[in-house]
């Protein structure tokens, strides 16, 4: 409360809000009649999700042979989507955990929705390796439990098992972090309803009976801070371990030490792109422009620029190291990626991820909503192709030319992917309708310092000082 | 099951006023029952002189349990229960076990701490807590005083203190 913040820093809440306004603006989205636009969106998403479930059923009935994946390209469309979704699931925890530790206040406007996105994306991601097993009814074999097969334990030296632990830990810890943040806000929604009504009862169950005692808040803050401290290495470890799936193999193009940092940067990059894609729409439809301001969009675009450049540097480093290694297999793998039969996928990846984000060096473009939306879509596509390039183009021309093969996805694979999009959107739309989309309590706690009236007041206080003489600000 | 309590409630509309009021009232020797706020107010825990939470110590203990559990379990499996010869590599291959050990540390610490939090705060799905004033999860702050066994003079004195320290509303409530 007592710390000083420069009045030049942009306000994070605009529109002269009071605490009461914040409650009303967020809670209003969970009340009232269901809007036709929302209903239509949910129905479409649910239909797409249902098609995805149908494709899963088809695959389970008829086997992995219904997919285009084959002996040479064993990991294809399926694992591409797994890594893509897991990557998208990195922004939420990054925003809430790492930005909390760095005391970045702009996270309060977007953290709730981004965390929700994380959880839904990990749900989608988890489906792919599970159904890639083929005999999905034996999926529990991956867990180390006493069994009658020896007991034959899981292989603790295998990155695939590390992945099982990493993804499940990440999912459950993200869920705890997200829900503990939601509890006080559910209390707020409950108290806006009439006591005794069904609405009051449902939100009371969701709020665990939260009333906002001083002692509870003190514990809550301590818990949030430590969960953030735990989630920070966790979020970095998850994509590191995903990259180990590739890096510890002896496949040219995969067997590199650059993969862990490269994957982590790529995950954050794609995660922020997805957050922008969805939040730019949500802030408009749900009238949240005062809470997710242009300043928030610009901050996220700066992260896109940073991580995009990191990913781009990794692409170029890979090329250099392949050449410098002197290994003909390594050199061939990269030459084949850029100039082989699937050259177009490589160049889509290069242009979407390396070139397009560079436009964000310009402040005008960073603050342009339409352009940001366009770039966020481009990055989502680019990051999908990155995983496709890494997986398919490293495998389809392997050591034995006699086993070289082309890869084409079948409708079952494509349907599964499209279906996960439906699952993700359905969950997100339900979240938008029934949950507080912006962290109400956290936004209230920064209102005095980061709200536009607060900023105005801070400027009044320091106006006399020489440094602020020529400062002109319109809030 | 639960008994009703007589409370004196003071409502504030600003966090700074609230902290100052808490400091003054406690300085005058009056015991504050509880304070309810719509968001975490920094400095309030010092003003109320709350014992700092030991949740982080619990978190460390849970984390250490996770580390120990993962390492000892994997070691037992890989060296005693079912040692597998993989190209003559050592059965005790610690570096390969670090990722899972780390994940289990985080998993135990996070779950242990979160469950401890809900246990200590006595919060669970379906719990119905008595709400002093529903506006305290919205935009107002409430300070309560226990009135059981207190006389009128006490009520007048505390009401006067609340008023002079910026309370916008003062009322009695049976809860």
Indicate the domain borders of chain A.
19-135+189-456
Q: Does A328 touch chain B (CB under 8 A)?
A: no
Q: Which tokens go with A272?
A: 């922020």
Give the pLDDT band (50/70/90) at residue A9.
Answer: confident
CA dihedral A387, A390, A392, A398 (to 10 degrees): -170
CA A123 to chain centre: 12
User: Is A173 within 8 Å of B107 when comparing Cβ atoms?
Assistant: yes
Find the length of chain B. 175
What are the angstrom distances between the C-alpha of A60 and each of A74, A300, A413?
17, 40, 12
Residue of B nearest to A217 (CA): B40
Give the pLDDT band (50/70/90) at residue B2.
Answer: low
Long-range contacts of A394-402 (CB under 8 A, 24+ apart): A394/A251, A394/A252, A394/A253, A394/A254, A394/A333, A394/A337, A395/A72, A395/A73, A395/A74, A395/A75, A395/A76, A395/A251, A396/A72, A396/A73, A396/A342, A397/A332, A397/A333, A397/A336, A397/A340, A398/A72, A398/A251, A399/A329
Give the pLDDT band (50/70/90) at residue A297.
Answer: very high
Q: Does B88 touch chain A (CB under 8 A)?
A: no
Q: What angle is formed at CA A116 by the lines to CA A112 and CA A119, rounded to 5 degrees?
A: 140
Element at A165 (helix H, strand E): helix A159-191
Long-range contacts of A159-162 (CB under 8 A, 24+ apart): A159/A241, A159/A244, A159/A245, A159/A248, A159/B99, A160/A245, A161/B100, A162/A241, A162/A244, A162/B99, A162/B100, A162/B103
Give the pLDDT band (50/70/90) at residue A4.
Answer: low
Q: Which structural domains are found in chain B, ordered by start?
A: 1-38+139-175 (3.30.70.260), 55-120 (no CATH)
Q: What proportion of chain A, given as a percentage, has pLDDT over 90?
A: 73
3-state secondary structure of A8: coil
DSSP A435: S
User: Is B38 within 8 Å of A212 when comparing Cβ atoms?
Assistant: yes
Residue of B nearest to A226 (CA): B56
What is the Cα–Cα distance from B41 to B12, expressed in whole angstroms?
13
Give the pLDDT band (50/70/90) at residue B150.
Answer: confident
ipTM, interface predicted TM-score of the complex: 0.94
Name chain B contacts of A214, Cβ cutoff 8 Å: 34-37, 41, 44-45, 48, 50
Q: Does B43 touch chain A (CB under 8 A)?
A: yes
> For residue A435, what are the contacts with CB-CB under 8 A and spacing of at least 6?
A30, A112, A116, A182
User: Is A172 within 8 Å of B113 when comparing Cβ atoms?
Assistant: no
Q: Does A236 touch chain B (CB under 8 A)?
A: no
CB contact at 8 A, A227 and B114: yes
Find the length of chain A. 475
Average pLDDT over residues B101-111: 96
pLDDT tens per residue across span A164-216: 999 999 999 999 999 999 999 999 999 999 998 999 999 999 999 999 999 99
């Amino acid at each position: 409360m007592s710390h000083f913040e420069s009045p030049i820093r942009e306000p994070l809440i605009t529109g002269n809000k009071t605490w009461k306004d914040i409650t009303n603006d967020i809670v209003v989205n969970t009340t009232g009649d269901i809007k036709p636009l929302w209903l239509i969106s949910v129905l479409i998403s649910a239909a797409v999700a249902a098609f995805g479930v149908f494709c899963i059923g088809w695959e389970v009935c008829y086997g992995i042979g219904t997919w285009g994946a084959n002996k040479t390209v064993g990991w294809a469309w399926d694992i591409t989507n797994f890594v893509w979704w897991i990557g998208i699931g990195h922004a939420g925890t990054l925003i809430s955990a790492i930005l909390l530790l760095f005391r970045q206040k702009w996270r309060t406007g977007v953290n709730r929705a981004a965390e929700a996105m994380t959880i839904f994306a990990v749900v989608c991601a988890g489906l792919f390796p599970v159904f890639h097993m083929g005999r999905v009814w034996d999926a529990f074999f991956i867990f180390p439990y006493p069994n009658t097969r020896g007991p034959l334990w899981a292989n603790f030296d295998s990155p695939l098992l590390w992945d099982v632990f990493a993804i499940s830990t990440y999912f459950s810890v993200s869920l705890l972090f997200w829900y503990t943040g939601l509890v006080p806000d559910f209390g707020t929604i409950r108290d806006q309803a009439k006591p005794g009504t069904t609405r009051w009862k449902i939100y009371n169950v969701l709020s665990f009976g939260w009333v906002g005692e001083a002692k509870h808040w003190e514990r809550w803050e301590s818990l949030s801070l430590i969960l953030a401290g735990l989630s920070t290495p966790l979020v970095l470890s998850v994509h590191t371990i995903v990259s180990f799936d590739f890096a510890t193999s002896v496949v040219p193009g995969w067997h590199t030490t650059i993969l862990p940092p490269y994957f982590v940067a790529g995950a954050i990059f794609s995660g922020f792109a997805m957050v922008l894609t969805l939040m730019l729409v949500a802030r408009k439809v749900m009238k949240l422009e005062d809470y997710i301001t242009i300043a928030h969009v610009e901050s996220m675009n700066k992260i896109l620029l940073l991580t995009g450049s990191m990913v781009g540097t990794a692409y170029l480093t890979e090329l250099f190291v392949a050449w410098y290694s002197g290994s003909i297999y390594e050199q061939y793998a990269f030459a084949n990626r850029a100039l082989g039969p699937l050259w177009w996928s490589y160049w889509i990846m290069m242009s979407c991820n390396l070139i397009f984000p560079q436009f964000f060096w310009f402040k005008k473009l960073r603050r342009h909503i339409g352009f940001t939306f366009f770039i966020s879509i481009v990055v989502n596509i680019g990051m999908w192709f990155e995983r496709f390039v890494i997986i398919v183009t490293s495998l389809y021309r392997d050591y034995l030319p006699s086993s070289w093969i082309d890869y084409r996805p079948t409708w079952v694979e494509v349907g599964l992917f499209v279906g996960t999009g439906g699952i993700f959107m359905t969950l997100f739309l339900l979240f938008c309708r029934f949950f507080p989309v912006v962290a109400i309590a956290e936004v209230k706690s920064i209102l005095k310092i980061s709200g536009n009236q607060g900023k105005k007041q801070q400027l009044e206080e320091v106006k006399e000082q020489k440094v602020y003489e020529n400062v002109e600000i319109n809030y | 099951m639960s008994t009703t309590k007589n409370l004196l409630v003071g409502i504030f509309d600003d966090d700074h006023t609230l902290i100052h009021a808490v400091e003054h009232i406690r300085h005058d020797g009056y015991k504050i029952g509880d304070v309810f706020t719509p968001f975490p107010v920094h400095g309030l825990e010092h003003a109320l002189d709350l014992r700092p939470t030991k949740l982080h110590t619990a978190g460390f203990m849970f984390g250490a349990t996770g580390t120990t559990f993962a390492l000892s379990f994997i070691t037992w499996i890989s060296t005693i229960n079912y040692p597998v010869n993989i190209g003559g590599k050592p059965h005790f291959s610690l570096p390969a076990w670090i990722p899972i050990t780390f994940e289990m540390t985080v998993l135990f610490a996070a779950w242990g701490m979160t469950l401890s939090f809900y246990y200590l705060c006595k919060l669970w799905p379906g719990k119905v807590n008595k709400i002093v004033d529903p506006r305290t999860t919205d935009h107002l702050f409430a300070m309560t005083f226990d009135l059981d066994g207190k006389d009128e003079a006490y009520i007048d004195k505390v009401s006067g203190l609340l008023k002079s320290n910026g309370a916008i509303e003062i009322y009695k409530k049976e809860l």
